[in-house]
Amino acid sequence: MRKKWILIGVLLLMAITPLIDVTKVQAAKVLFDGTSSAEQLKALASINKIRQQMGLDDVKLDPALVKAAINHARYANANFTIKSEGDLSIEVKGREFFTQQTPKERVLTSGFSGEVPEIVETVYMKERAYDEFDMASEINELAVMHDRREVMLTPAVASIGIARVGKSTVIVGAVKSEGVMITPATASVFPYDGMTRVWAGNIYKMNAQQLIQGEATTLTVFSSLRDVADLKAKLSTQAGNRHISIPLSVKKLNSGYGYVLTAQRQLRGDREYTAEVSFQSGGKTLVKKWTFKTSPFLYQLNIDDMPLLSAPPLNIVNGISEVPMRYLFELFGARVEWNKATRTITAEKNGLSLKMTIDDHTAYINGQAVQMNSPPHLYGYATYVPLRFISETFGYDVEYDPIERSVDIWTGLL
């Protein structure tokens, strides 16, 4: 009998072992080596696809640039973090994985063929290793921000090296010599003309005094020559019959081959924008006009066509939108007071006084009684007030979209 049970146990173990192995295989995560030639070719294909859409020549992989990129990616992964500041292209002798101090010196010692040209470099640090994503996805992420895409999309760059090691991604580019630069000067842009699913930025409200904060959508305007000057730029969109102009900040690229334009407000999702630029380069005026469309996303509350990313959720009561009182009044720049004893709200701005009481349909505007369809309510510790009534009291227009369940407030403040 004992031998029988031993035999049964052995057979069961033999049956279970393959199942355990299969489970391990299924659970194993596929990882992509960002220093392999296969992944570098994926990255190259993604870069050249973008460059073709921009009307630029393809770049090629150079073995010495690849080696330099791998060496510095190892150094960056060991010595930098996502919070590191300063020039991340500089290495310090004595630190782990040190090769040479500057990008040009690293390219030189990596065996670059011929005279080493001007070298430009991008170093991108992340909070963790993202090697579960291939290098084609990595390039799409790099393209979102102007400082990450500059090297790979600069028209004057002819060859590159790419590497990802742990938390770091490095792209090294070799600039064409002045003798083979494209003349006359030509302009190219990113996002490119007709591009869709463009990142709309991540601007949020921290306080009433500083509405614009966070990371914004950036447009990069390149010239094939470095002598750029006198840029003028406009970015606009249409919201129904309203023409919306987006303020832009302008900064020359580190490489000198163009400008980065930064939107000073959050862009709307699934919206077409028109950009226009003109600047001097190569002894002539370059003019570019193009359109792009942002990725679809929806926020419930928008002011002057700008989504409010940090806005609290709307509370809908009998078809009437309510929001926390302090958020709304501070958004409008009004001074607000709360009397706990009488449960009364008082808001003032530019000589206008509004007084309301919790659960009371009567409000007082500069002392005159008016009726509200929906009174203020207390929900937990928050006081909610009717959005349309408050907005229109201060002279603002309100539009409600019942399909998207979103509200647009038009104030003229932004």
Residue ranges covered by each domain of the chain? 37-175, 187-294, 300-410
Torsion sign across C-alpha atoms 292, 296, 302, 308:
negative
Q: Tokens at residue 346, please? A: 């008082």
Q: Tokens at residue 383, please? A: 């006081």
Fold of 187-294: Immunoglobulin-like (2.60.40)
pTM of this prediction exceeds 0.75: yes
* Superfamily designation of domain 37-175: CAP (3.40.33.10)
Asked whether the beta carbons of 160 and 172 are under 8 A apart, the reply is yes
Q: What is the DSSP letter of 207?
A: B
Any idea which residue has 């509350």 for tokens?
301
In a structure prediction context, what are the per-residue pLDDT tens digits for the chain, which is 414 residues long? Answer: 444 444 444 444 444 444 444 444 444 578 999 999 999 999 999 999 999 999 999 999 999 999 999 999 999 999 999 999 999 999 999 999 999 999 999 999 999 988 888 999 999 999 999 899 999 999 999 999 999 999 999 999 999 999 999 999 999 999 987 655 556 788 999 999 999 999 998 876 544 444 445 678 999 999 988 889 999 999 999 998 999 999 999 999 988 899 999 998 889 999 999 999 999 998 899 999 999 999 998 888 999 998 988 888 888 888 888 999 988 998 888 999 999 999 999 999 999 999 999 999 999 999 999 999 999 999 888 899 999 999 999 999 999 888 878 899 998 766
Asked whether the beta carbons of 142 and 122 are under 8 A apart, the reply is yes
- Taking the C-alpha atoms of residue 368 and residue 307, their distance in angstroms, rounded to an integer, is 33
Residue 319 CB contacts under 8 Å (≥ 6 apart), including other chains? none
Q: Tokens at residue 332, please? A: 């409008």
- Domain 300-410: top CATH class: alpha beta
Q: Tokens at residue 303, please? A: 């002011």
Q: Tokens at residue 89, please? A: 């292209």
Same CATH topology for 37-175 and 300-410? no
- Taking the C-alpha atoms of residue 348 and residue 394, their distance in angstroms, rounded to an integer, is 10
Any idea which residue has 């007709």 for tokens?
194
Per-residue CA distances from 135 to 21, 126, 210 (Å): 29, 14, 37
